[in-house]
Chain A
Amino acid sequence: MKKVYPDADAALDGLLFDGMHIAAGGFGLCGIPELLIDALVKSGVKDLTIASNNCGVDGFGLGKLLDTKQIKKMQSSYVGENAEFMRQYLSGELELEFNPQGTLAERMRAGGAGIPGFYTKTGVGTVIADGKEVKQFNGEDYILEEGIFADLSIVKAWKADDTGNLIFRKTARNFNPPAAMCGKVCVAEVEEIVPRGSIDPDLIHLPGIYVHRVIQGEHEKRIEQRTTRKREEA
């Protein structure tokens, strides 16, 4: 079992094909797999369907794959900060499937847990329910949502060991664990690969069974909205 790869290009080697379905971790620009996104750009793989809460910003994160027109369809809850996204969407070049944020997260988790569908109250009576089965439980309406089964998961964690056990840091965890779970193959990029045994087994956030390939690298970790308070206010 060798899960550690030298870089993002090597880690994606043999996994990519046109028209594939990718699940990506991250919320906004927080906890996004920057290095693997760059490698996807380099690979030229196209007609991608990507399940990701957001689609980066212009020129960064998944926004890079928009600039190169490699994305065919996004499954997202919020795509606000991206002019190129809007341009491609309004011109019909890009498909968009809006998912309520919790529904998207649960669709990934469900896919990873072998659950093809689940019922939720979220979106009942809204456009999200259009065309979906409605079922009553205890007199209340619920809609059927389907699990996501992706060809590939790309995620970002803080640390990994060489068996793929992952720990995340603060709110950079977000969609990464559910995204990691729902792919046939999961590639994780981390800030540091640490020796086996150096992470307390009780503190592992995602067990290595979900993670097939790991790379270590430098991350830009761009901040989208820098908000601060003055020291005098303390």
Chain B
Amino acid sequence: MPWDRNQMAARAAQELEDGMYVNLGIGIPTLVANYVGDKDITLQSENGMLGMGPFPFEGEEDPDLINAGKQTITELSRTSYFDSATSFGMIRGGKIAAAILGAMEVAENGDLANWMIPGKLVKGMGGAMDLVAGVGRVVVVMDHTNKHGESKVLKECTLPLTGRGVVDRIITNLGVLDVVDGGLKIVELADGVTEEEFRAATEATLV
């Protein structure tokens, strides 16, 4: 059985080590926070906060306290706030250990596309280009194939790039891949997924 959203998030949480400062993207990456267990992880929200807490209780929402997805959140005892230039200074400056992000396509050389589909409404890249260019390690969490069954793990991205050669590891519903010299290396298969099935769903070169 391929992994579901929560199992993918739980697998992605294994990428995080005690003491890390981490930025989580929107969608499945947000769920990763539910699976960090006892590890001491500080979440960064690029609109200007380190130490992001959970959603507030009903009635305690604060319009001055939101995450990068514009959702109301809370602070923790460790929280600090700063302006956007400082926030992206720590991102661009390599101080954030890892980013876990969603993707539309990833290529075997680590190219990432996750911000626009030509011909469709373009909303913008937000902080995604800064994150993938700056953080120490980029982990992508996404479905292995699109809704038409076509591979999202490609030889070359077809969509406009968010970053060139920026992805380190890919976690999909079928398993885990690393970007290495010459292509992608299978690190792990989801429970019950065969290597044959995995290869059939992958367009990229597997080494």
Contact = CB atoms under 8 A, between A and B. Distances in A.
B58 to A, nearest CB: 4
B91 interface: yes
B196 interface: no
A224 B191 CA distance: 39
B148 interface: no
B133 A123 contact: yes
Contacts of A221: 63-64
Interface residues of B, number: 54
Given A30-B47, A77-B126, A126-B164, A105 B85 contact: yes
Interface string A83-107: 0001000000000001011111110
Contacts of B91: 102
Interface of B: 45-49, 54-67, 69-73, 75, 81-85, 87-89, 91-92, 111, 121-130, 133-134, 160-165
25 contacts: A28-B47, A77-B126, A78-B125, A80-B124, A100-B127, A101-B126, A105-B83, A106-B89, A108-B85, A121-B92, A121-B134, A126-B163, A169-B64, A171-B47, A171-B49, A171-B65, A172-B64, A174-B48, A175-B83, A177-B83, A178-B85, A224-B70, A228-B55, A228-B57, A231-B58
Given A125-B111, A230-B58, 12 more contacts: A77-B126, A78-B123, A104-B84, A125-B161, A125-B163, A126-B162, A128-B125, A128-B129, A158-B64, A170-B64, A171-B65, A178-B84
